[in-house]
Amino acid sequence: MGRRWLKGLFSTLFIIVILAGVGIAAWWNWAIQPYAEEGSNAAEVQFMIVPGMNASQVAQELEQKQLIRNALAFRFLASQQNVDSKLLAGEYQLSAQMAPQEMIDKILKGPAVHTEKITIPEGYTTAQIIDLFVKNGLGTKDDYQRVIESESFGYSFLADIPSGPQRLDGFLFPDTYFFDPEANPKENINRMLQRFEQEVTPEVMTKLAEMNLTLREWVNLASIVEKEAGKDTDRPIIAGIFLNRLKIDMALQSCATIQYVLGTQKYILSLEDIQVESPYNTYKYPGLPPSPISSPGHASLDAVLNSTASDYLYFLATPSGETIYAKTHQEHLQNQAKYMK
């Protein structure tokens, strides 16, 4: 009896091991295939490896960008080839139609061309971005202004933007880039627009529809949050306050929009400042300004989509960097008297 029981147990375990092996083999065969089906329209995209990045981080980002099916499989392949010690920072042209091993082979060859590393900070205006390009020898101011004002780029999120020098405000996504010194201004601007397009996912568009916000309104509001929020934890709360104001047709009263008009950063605005005549003066004119006042990063864009629900209608930043919130104007005045001495 005991021997039959042991024999049955071993038989069961053997079957389990075989089935597990078959399952793992099937998973592995799936994981090392290209993310996109053969014949799909998956285009090559720029993938950036920044200094200090390891193979595990590369795998995670590739999976997040839907360029590979599974980060674990990529990490295993990379570990077999000691990729960590061979990674070179730079820009790589990758496609979802490439298998993980093809990507590793391409990455191990290093960046195709010499590149200029430029970091575009969150909250920069278009003018500041142009100045950064010019400072790094990547074209002239006149060339960038001409491209921004007149060139067509073909992105759906730019379909309804007005003409003029502000037409791309907010859509030049802040990030660290490796630019080809031989690229022209249109190619450099297109790189930033291409990066912004990655933020416009189907989930984002669904969320915007639920919030009754257009994509341009989303970017516009996020650009104000970017300039107003001192800390990441403040962003969703401040976004919620501005959304509360928009719902009741209350002026946004954003100091950041006044600073945008004045072209200077002033910690405390005067009564004269907030009376400046401009459609961007959100103290005088309710609703959002005509266009974004800065290039918002992912955190501010996400803060608008996932704002914190509250009864707050007011906030102020103290000299120490703390943000104080209030539900009523009277409470806000009391906070000003207490914290703004």
pLDDT tens-digit series, residues 278-295: 999 999 999 999 999 999
Over residues 286-314, the mean pLDDT reads 95
104 pLDDT exceeds 60? yes
197 pLDDT exceeds 60? yes
Containing 93, the helix (H) or strand (E) segment is strand 90-94
pLDDT tens-digit series, residues 23-60: 788 888 898 899 887 767 667 788 888 777 888 999 99
Burial of residue 39 (CB within 10 Å: 0-12, 13-18, 19+) is exposed
User: Residue 5 — very low, low, confident or very high, per pLDDT cuts 50/70/90?
Assistant: low
Neighbours of 42 (CB within 10 A): 17
Question: What local confidence, expressed as pLDDT, does residue 8 receive?
Answer: 60
Report residue 317 as tokens: 């930043």
Over residues 141-164, the mean pLDDT reads 88
Give dist(CA 166, CA 145) in Å, integer: 10
Which CATH topology does 45-108 take?
Answer: Dna Ligase; domain 1 (3.30.1490)
In the block, tokens 């969150």 appear at 122
CATH 3.30.1490.480 positions along the chain are 45-108
* End-to-end CA, the chain: 89
Three-state DSSP state, 112: coil
2 pLDDT exceeds 60? no
Average pLDDT, the chain: 88
Question: What local confidence, expressed as pLDDT, does residue 6 receive?
Answer: 59
